[in-house]
Amino acid sequence: MDTIPDVEGYAYNGSEEILLLPTQEYILGIGAQNEPNQIYGYLRKTDTIGNTIWEQAINDVYMGVANMHLAALKNGNFVVSWGVKLGGTTEDRGSFFVKCYNEQGDSLWQYTFASVDYIRNIQDLYVCANGDIIGCGYTLEAYPEYLTGWIFRLSPDGELIWSREFVYWEALGHFMPLYAVTEDPYGDIIATGYANRPDPETGFWKGQAVLLKVNAMGCFGEGGCNDTSIVHSVVTGIEEPDSGGGVLASPSPVKVAWLGYGEMAVFYNLPAYPVAQLHLYDIQGRHITTQSLPPYDIFTPIQTPPLPPGIYLYTAEQGGVVVARGKVAVVW
């Protein structure tokens, strides 16, 4: 065991990522800094005993946290993620990119996920069986007040195939960052992250792990690519898949979640007028309560009388027309 040499000119160095190449050589991702919260990204190729073959900076942009990720491609090249002009006043504020190099350290292509005055962050990269690159993270692009989960797919040549953002409507603040992503043997994509939602046993709000599974196009089975959890999509150069019969399933514009202690949360996406109403029933169809859904909002709480555990039914009505039906579980 030995320490690796510092990047010349920097007093503090940290190994952020390591990648084993098919040649049995290593790519090290190094965060180098002299000042607090000013970390520059470097790549270093070494042999099996740590001798440097080449070293270079990713760019001249520093980050407060060295959020760097590496992945080896099927063709012997590799990719790295890093940031562009973070905190600046240009259109690149908060932007992240994926950059491809060959084994000699030559830059081959770069895809930048440009963002304007909102947070975006790549948290993981993974290379699929067909050679495509998938990544995950989070962003505030679709909703400035919600930190939404984000998954994207690039071709081995750096072309965007699709990018989708996911919101967890039942979570506190709809907050759902994603931190790791992989592909299963069937080509589906699985990402994991974090959300704060009611515990199914106690009803208390609690930080919990999230497991998000989508197909190779980043879509769900029942709701397809039009599922209400998908709040923003960019699809390039390919056709959207249908639900199997040529017609996409219609997403429900109203969802209800149990918060505990006599309170439910209603999430809705409806025209402002006429004012919609939500009716709550027990499983035998007996009416429990009715509440108006305030126009121009997307969320409202509902106070209920004490309810025993079980399944309850709800109906949303607008202008005399039923626009949504569903079920909600009450647990203690």
pLDDT per position as a tens digit, 19-69: 999 888 999 999 888 888 788 899 999 998 889 999 999 988 877 777 799
pLDDT band at 241 (very low <50, low <70, confident <90, very high): very low
The string of pLDDT tens digits covering residues 228-237 is 788 778 887 4
pTM: 0.66
> Does residue 151 have a pLDDT over 80?
yes
Predicted local confidence at residue 185, as pLDDT: 86
Give the sheet arrangement for strand 78-84, strand by strand: 69-72, 78-84, 95-101, 107-113
Give 51 or 93, the one with higher predicted confidence: 51
Place of tokens 């959020």: 67
Identify which of 246, 252, 249 has the alpha carbon closest to the alpha carbon of residue 223. Answer: 249
pLDDT band at 223 (very low <50, low <70, confident <90, very high): low
What is the widest separation between alpha-carbon atoms in the chain? 75
Place of tokens 């126009």: 295
The string of pLDDT tens digits covering residues 287-323 is 999 999 988 777 788 888 888 888 888 899 998 888 8
Predicted local confidence at residue 170, as pLDDT: 77
Burial class (CB in 10 A: 0-12, 13-18, 19+), 151: buried
pLDDT band at 81 (very low <50, low <70, confident <90, very high): very high
> Does residue 244 have a pLDDT over 50?
no
> Does residue 180 have a pLDDT over 60?
yes
> Does residue 109 have a pLDDT over 90?
yes
In order of start, what are the domains of the chain with their CATH numbers? 12-235 (2.120.10.10), 254-330 (2.60.40.10)
The C-alpha atoms of residue 304 and residue 100 are separated, in whole angstroms, by 55
Q: Check: CB of residue 84 under 8 Å from CB of residue 95.
A: yes
Distance of CA 293 to the CA centre of its chain: 29
Q: In the predicted model, what is the mean pLDDT of residues 132-140?
A: 90
Name which of 2-6, 112-116, 326-330 the model is least confident about: 2-6
Predicted local confidence at residue 308, as pLDDT: 84
Average pLDDT value for the chain: 81
Predicted local confidence at residue 181, as pLDDT: 95
- Residue 172 DSSP label: G
